[in-house]
Amino acid sequence: MAIPHAAKGEVVSLPRLDGADRSTTLVKTEQFQAIHLVVPAGTSIPPHSVAGQTTFQCLKGRVELAFGGRTVTLGAGDWLYLDRGEEHAVEGVDDSALLLTILF
């Protein structure tokens, strides 16, 4: 069963999703995709790349984001941009939630 996405003009309360135990695609179009990404402490997303330009906005907790031979820590309120096709990996330092946006 497909996960329902937000409709155009629909307000989505991201803080309300903070207790979510899984990641959720909020919207996906031909031009972009927005994902509420849940990364529990001690879990990781292995190295991978995506076809679009990517932004990460940490909403809650802390994650380590590895890319380009370096690792940075994103905490609540931090934002980062990666070019299309750039390989990256994510590890949860704390129970974390991010807003991930991919522009195609």
In a domain, 32, yes or no: no
CATH number for the domain spanning 47: value is 2.60.120.10
Domain count for the chain, please give it. 1
In a domain, 70, yes or no: yes
pLDDT per residue as tens, the chain (104 positions): 345 788 889 988 887 777 778 899 999 999 999 999 999 999 999 999 999 999 999 999 999 999 999 999 999 999 999 999 999 999 999 999 999 999 99
Domain containing 51 equals 41-104
In a domain, 82, yes or no: yes
Question: HEC string of the chain?
Answer: CCCCCCCCCCCCCHHHHHHCCCCEEEEECCCEEEEEEEECCCCEEEEECCCCEEEEEEEECEEEEEECCEEEEEECCCEEEECCCCCEEEEECCCEEEEEEEEC
